[in-house]
Amino acid sequence: MGIPEKIKAIEDEIHKTQINKATEHHIGLLKAKIARLKKDMEGDIHGKTISSKSRSGGYNVRKAGDGTVVLIGLPSVGKSTLLNRLTNANSKVGSYRFTTLTVVPGMMEYRGARIQILDMPGIIEGAASGRGLGKRVLSVARSADLVLLVLDVFQPQHIDLLKRELSVIGIKVDQKPPDILIEKTETGGISVNSLVKSRLSESLAKDILRVYGVHNCRLTVREPELTDDQLIDMLAGNRVYVPSIVALNKIDLVDNTLLMQIRRKIGNNFIPISADGNKNIESVRDAIFQKLDFIRVFLKPKGQDADLEEPLIVRSECTVSDVCTKIRRTMTTDFKYAQVWGDSVKFGAQKVGLDHRLADGDIVSITKKN
C-alpha cells in the first residue's frame, strides 16, 4: 500500500469513528499518523517554493526588499487592482475569474522601506486540499512576513474561509505558536511536565510523540488549551505564524448602513477601501508598514553629521550587530564600539556593544578597530 492509500485508509477510519471521550485518544493518534505520513510524502517542499532555483514557472518568486506581503483573497475581489495601486506593478485586472494565473510581484516604497507585495491567483474553496492551482500558490505565501486578506464588500464572511485554507497548508494567521518545549534526552522514556492543567492527556501526548519517533524526551507544557493538533503541528515542524491585515474592498458600491452591518458581523478589524476608486489606499500602506514593525535607524559617519535623509530600515527587534551586517557583511569583525543618540539610550553619544537593541529614530555611529 502506498502512502496516499494509507492516508486514505486512516481518514476513512476517522470518519467511521464517533467522536467522544472514549475515542479521543484513538482519533488523536490517527491524526498524528496522518500528519506523519503527509510529511514523509511531501518531504520538505514547503518553504522551498520561493527559490531562485526552483523550476515552478510563475510560482517562483525571489524574496526582495525589507519585507514580503502576500495578497490573499477569492477571485475577483480586487487583488490585482490593489497591487497596482500599492506598487509600481502592472498586474492584469479582469472582470472574469482567474485573470492572475501566476504570482505577480510589485515593490511598494513607503517611508524609506521597500516592501515586496505578491499578487496571488485567487484562492478557491478547497484549494489547500489540492484543488486547482491552489496548493502550489498557497505555498508561496509561506515565506511571507505578512498576509493581506482582501475581501469583497458583499462577501465579508469569506474571511473565515481564507484563514481556514491557509491553516490547512500550515500558515497560521494571527496565532501564537503553542507554548511547549520538547527536550530530547538519551534515555529515560518520555516525561511530561505540565505547568498548567492541559486539555491534552498525558498518555495521548506520549503516543503522539512516539508516532514521530521520539521515545526519550522531556515535554514541558505551559499551554492550558494545548490540543492534540497543536502538538502534531509542532512535531510536523512545518507551521509558520504570520500576522494579517484585512482590507474590505469595493466600498464604493455600498452605503454606510451596510458597512455597519458588516462591522456587526466580522468586527472592526478591517480597512474599508476602494482599490478601483483609489480610496483609503494610504491607510493600507501605513498598516503594512506598522504591522511589519519596521524602525528607522540613521547612520552618522565618524566626525560628520548624521544622514537624516536616508535611514536604514530594519525590523524592530534589531541590534547594533544587525545594523553592521546590513551595511557590510564583515563589519561585525572590525567592530570596536558604537555610539547611539535616541530613545534606546539614557544619554546622547552613549557607547554600546553589538548586542544593544535599537529604537525607532536612533542615530548610530560605528567605530572600527584600527
> Which of 36, 79 has the CB closer to ligand GDP?
79
> Which of 226, 275 has the CB closer to Mg ion?
275
* 281 is a site residue for ligand GDP (CB under 6 A): no
* 99 is a site residue for Mg ion (CB under 5 A): yes
> Which of 99, 325 has the CB closer to Mg ion?
99
Show the binding pattern over residues 56-75: x = contacts ligand GDP (CB under 6 A), - = does not.
-----------------x-x
Q: Which of 249, 280, 344, 365 binds ligand GDP (CB under 6 A)?
A: 249
CB neighbour list of residue 280: distance below 8 Å, 6 or more residues apart: 251, 271, 272, 273, 274
Question: For residues 78-97, which are near ligand GDP according to CB under 6 A?
Answer: 78-81, 93-95
Q: How far is the CB of 167 from ligand GDP (least distance, A)?
A: 21
Q: Which of 49, 68, 80, 139 binds Mg ion (CB under 5 A)?
A: 80
* CA pair distance 10, 110, nearest whole angstrom: 50
Cβ distance 242 to 267 under 8 Å? no
Q: Which of Mg ion, ligand GDP, none sits in contact with 94, Cβ below 5 to 8 A by type?
A: ligand GDP
Tally of CB atoms within 10 A around 269: 11
Question: For residues 114-153, which are near ligand GDP according to CB under 6 A?
Answer: 122
* 253 is a site residue for ligand GDP (CB under 6 A): yes
Closest CA relative to residue 315, chosen from 337, 291, 331: 291
Q: How far is the CB of 78 from ligand GDP (least distance, A)?
A: 3
* 250 is a site residue for ligand GDP (CB under 6 A): yes
* 277 is a site residue for ligand GDP (CB under 6 A): yes
Q: How far is the CB of 90 from ligand GDP (least distance, A)?
A: 12
**Which pairs count as long-range contacts for 211-216, CB under 8 Å and 24+ apart, including other chains?**
211/29, 211/32, 211/33, 211/36, 212/32, 212/36, 212/236, 214/182, 214/184, 214/190, 215/189, 215/190, 216/184, 216/185, 216/186, 216/187, 216/188, 216/189, 216/190
Angle between helices 24-42 and 202-211 (to 10 degrees): 20
Grid cell of 261 as nine digits:
452591518
Sites of contact with Mg ion (CB under 5 A): 79-80, 99-100
Sites of contact with ligand GDP (CB under 6 A): 73, 75-81, 93-95, 99-100, 122, 249-250, 252-253, 274-277
